[in-house]
């Protein structure tokens, strides 16, 4: 990573996160029965406890069966600084969100050593956290671009129609992923950005993301440079993830995926490290089950069953499955279905997904990593009723899929334009190395 890359990251990430400041422009009443009910209860119980260190040896302030000492300490800090001004509590959320965007840059750089792509991943995560995709019809832009490419080929390059159709499909898929549609499900209709920045309890997920990105980036640096201090940093950050949020059980799997990706790139991996990570994870799970109630009312209410959970995982793996479900729900209207866009949109979405993976071989490693790891990071939360902050860590990993989809689309467009396969495309693909 050069200084230019970091300056570019600072400018772009800072600019997009400035849009996230809109969450501070409203009053948040300190009273129960509102969207911020949990924050109010936590502040009240923090006042009653009067001991910040209590949260390291007990349930967190909501007493619903979870071990989250670091988010609890964050609320302790906010209460000490700002009293009952819940709007100012969001400063912490914003700071952590910005830090996560920069950690995405570092993590992707350490994993794949492509600085331009690393910066792009951090910028994409900043866009999502700030909620820019909620204000811009990103998916629509993608389909308009795809249609333009197809029409252009019909007018100027009919012989290359199939090649341009492939480019159009990959482009549409890339823009759909950039729109972050899979992260928009929430039981109260709130956005991904709101849960990450505008809702103070959302810090449970963002703190976890911060420590998971840190442990993964430090681990990749350790494997590449063989310096023991990075091993220590990675283990300490992994413990930080355990002290944040129960979704931390996926961290060891993410580290293993990083090890496999590094090995594929020719890095000699120290596999013993993963034994340590999985051992710590097993210890965390055992202690959590031993000392915290597993079947609290909150957990029972939040569960949405095995079928719903599996459906959510499938949507992460194959986004077009959502369109298939919409089509299925409209079959009852019979032939009238042909008069509405649903069946044609479904065919287009399925084609875009399938065509992308047919031609993904040139960039298969980051594409598979981004898809598989983001899905794995989400899997444990898929069996709970939707809250958009559950997607925070998965979407940090999903940035890799998004950026490399655009790289793939650019490579295919160069190939289509030259009417021959190119092994070393110029332009954006080279700039992102």
Tell whether the model's pLDDT for residue 377 goes beyond 50: yes
Q: Specify the 3-state DSSP secondary structure of 227.
A: coil
Do 266 and 361 share a domain, yes or no? no
- Could you give the angle at the alpha carbon of 363 between the alpha carbons of 362 and 365, nearest 5°? 125
Domain count, the chain: 2
Question: Given this model, what pLDDT does residue 14 score?
Answer: 96
Do 277 and 395 share a domain, yes or no? no
Burial of 362 (0-12, 13-18, 19+ CB in 10 A): middle
Do 325 and 404 share a domain, yes or no? yes
Q: Report the candidate in 145, 134, 143 with the shortest Cα–Cα distance to residue 179.
A: 134
Do 288 and 309 share a domain, yes or no? no
Do 420 and 318 share a domain, yes or no? yes
Do 250 and 319 share a domain, yes or no? no
Could you tell me the residue range of the domain that residue 345 belongs to? 149-185+304-433
Question: Given this model, what pLDDT does residue 126 score?
Answer: 98
Distance, CA of 413 to CA of 416 (rounded, Å): 5
Residues 6+ apart with CB under 8 A from 75: 39, 42, 43, 46, 61, 89, 200
Domain for residue 299, yes or no?
no
Last residue of a domain, one of 292, 327, 346: 292
Do 323 and 284 share a domain, yes or no? no
Place of tokens 């840190």: 214
Q: What are the C-alpha distances in Å from 232 to residues 100, 113, 215, 251, 256? A: 20, 22, 9, 16, 17
* Spatial contact of 87 and 404, defined as CB atoms under 8 Å apart: no
* Spatial contact of 240 and 211, defined as CB atoms under 8 Å apart: yes
* Spatial contact of 28 and 87, defined as CB atoms under 8 Å apart: yes
Do 266 and 329 share a domain, yes or no? no
Last residue of a domain, one of 239, 259, 292: 292
Tell whether the model's pLDDT for residue 428 goes beyond 70: no
Distance, CA of 109 to CA of 105 (rounded, Å): 6
Summarised one tens digit per residue, pLDDT across range 46-94 is 999 989 999 999 999 998 889 999 999 999 999 999 998 999 999 999 9
For residues 33-41, average pLDDT: 84
Q: Specify the 3-state DSSP secondary structure of 384.
A: strand
User: Alpha helices of 179-265 — where are they, by DSSP H?
Assistant: 192-193, 203-225, 228-242, 251-264
pTM: 0.91
For residues 95-113, average pLDDT: 98
Question: Given this model, what pLDDT does residue 300 score?
Answer: 67
DSSP letters, 92-151, are HHHHHHHHHHHHHHHHHHHHH--HHHHHHHHHHHHHHHHTHHHHS-HHHHHHHHHHHHHH
Tell whether the model's pLDDT for residue 433 goes beyond 70: no
Domain for residue 33, yes or no?
no
Question: Given this model, what pLDDT does residue 421 score?
Answer: 46
Do 317 and 249 share a domain, yes or no? no
Higher local confidence (pLDDT), 311 or 197: 197
Do 286 and 313 share a domain, yes or no? no
Dihedral of the alpha carbons of 58, 62, 68, 69, in degrees to the nearest 10: -60
Summarised one tens digit per residue, pLDDT across range 134-181 is 999 998 999 899 889 888 888 877 777 788 888 888 999 999 999 998
For residues 216-236, average pLDDT: 97
Question: Given this model, what pLDDT does residue 73 score?
Answer: 96
DSSP 249: G
Do 422 and 314 share a domain, yes or no? yes
Average pLDDT score over the chain? 89
Tell whether the model's pLDDT for residue 282 goes beyond 50: yes
Tell whether the model's pLDDT for residue 425 goes beyond 70: no
* Spatial contact of 114 and 104, defined as CB atoms under 8 Å apart: no
Domain for residue 18, yes or no?
no
DSSP 58: S
- Residue 429 pLDDT level (bands cut at 50, 70, 90): low
Residues 281-301, buried b or exposed e (16+ Cβ, 10 A)? beebeeebeeebeeebeeeee
Summarised one tens digit per residue, pLDDT across range 287-325 is 998 888 777 776 666 677 788 888 889 988 988 888 888
Domain for residue 31, yes or no?
no
Distance, CA of 378 to CA of 291 (rounded, Å): 25
Distance, CA of 304 to CA of 383 (rounded, Å): 6
Tell whether the model's pLDDT for residue 116 goes beyond 60: yes
Place of tokens 């928009």: 184
Tell whether the model's pLDDT for residue 259 goes beyond 90: yes
Domain for residue 369, yes or no?
yes
Domain for residue 377, yes or no?
yes
DSSP letters, 63-108, are -SS---HHHHHHHHHHHHHHTT-HHHHHHHHHHHHHHHHHHHHHHH
Last residue of a domain, one of 292, 325, 350: 292
Question: Given this model, what pLDDT does residue 422 score?
Answer: 46
Phi, psi (degrees; rounded to nearest 5) at 384: -110, 155
Summarised one tens digit per residue, pLDDT across range 389-422 is 999 999 999 999 999 999 999 998 888 887 644 4
Do 227 and 317 share a domain, yes or no? no
Burial of 332 (0-12, 13-18, 19+ CB in 10 A): exposed
Distance, CA of 303 to CA of 309 (rounded, Å): 9
Domain for residue 256, yes or no?
yes
Question: Given this model, what pLDDT does residue 410 score?
Answer: 92
Question: Given this model, what pLDDT does residue 424 score?
Answer: 44
Residues 128-149, buried b or exposed e (16+ Cβ, 10 A)? bbbbbbbeeebbeebbebbeeb
Domain for residue 82, yes or no?
no
């Amino acid at each position: 990573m050069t200084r230019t890359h970091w300056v570019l990251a600072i400018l772009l990430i800072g600019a997009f996160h400035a849009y996230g400041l809109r969450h501070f422009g409203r009053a948040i009443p300190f009273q129960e029965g509102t969207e911020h009910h949990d924050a109010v209860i936590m502040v009240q119980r923090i006042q009653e406890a009067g001991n910040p260190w209590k949260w390291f040896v007990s349930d967190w302030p909501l007493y619903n069966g979870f071990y989250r000492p670091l988010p609890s300490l964050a609320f302790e800090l906010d209460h000490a600084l700002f009293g009952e001004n819940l709007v100012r509590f969001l400063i912490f959320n914003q700071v952590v969100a910005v830090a996560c965007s920069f950690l995405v840059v570092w993590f992707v750089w350490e994993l794949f050593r492509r600085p331009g792509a690393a910066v792009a991943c951090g910028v994409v995560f900043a866009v999502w956290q700030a909620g820019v995709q909620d204000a811009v019809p990103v998916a629509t832009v993608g389909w308009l671009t795809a249609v333009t490419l197809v029409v252009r080929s019909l007018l100027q390059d009919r012989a290359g129609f199939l090649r341009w159709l492939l480019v159009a499909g990959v482009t549409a898929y890339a823009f759909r992923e950039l729109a972050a549609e899979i992260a928009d499900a929430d039981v109260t209709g709130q956005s991904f950005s709101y849960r990450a920045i505008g809702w103070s309890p959302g810090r449970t997920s963002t703190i976890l993301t911060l420590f998971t990105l840190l442990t993964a980036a430090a681990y990749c640096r350790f494997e590449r440079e063989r310096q023991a201090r990075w091993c220590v940093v990675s283990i300490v950050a992994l413990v930080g993830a355990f002290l944040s949020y129960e979704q931390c059980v996926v961290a060891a799997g993410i580290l293993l995926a990083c090890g496999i990706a590094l090995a594929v790139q020719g890095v000699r991996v120290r596999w013993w490290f993963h034994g340590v990570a999985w051992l710590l994870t097993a210890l965390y799970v055992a202690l959590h089950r031993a000392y915290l109630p597993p079947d609290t009312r909150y957990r029972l209410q939040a569960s949405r069953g095995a079928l719903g959970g599996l459906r959510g995982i499938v949507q992460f793996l194959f986004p077009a499955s959502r369109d298939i479900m919409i089509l299925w729900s409209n079959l009852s209207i019979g032939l009238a279905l042909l008069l509405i866009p649903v069946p044609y949109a479904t065919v287009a979405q399925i084609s875009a997904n399938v065509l992308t993976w047919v031609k993904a071989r040139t960039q298969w490693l980051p594409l598979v990593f981004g898809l598989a790891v983001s899905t794995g990071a989400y899997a444990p939360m898929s069996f709970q009723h939707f809250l958009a902050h559950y997607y925070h860590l998965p979407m940090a990993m999903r940035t890799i899929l998004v950026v490399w989809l655009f790289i793939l689309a650019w490579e295919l467009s160069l190939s289509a334009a030259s009417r021959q396969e190119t092994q070393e495309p110029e332009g954006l693909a080279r700039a992102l190395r």
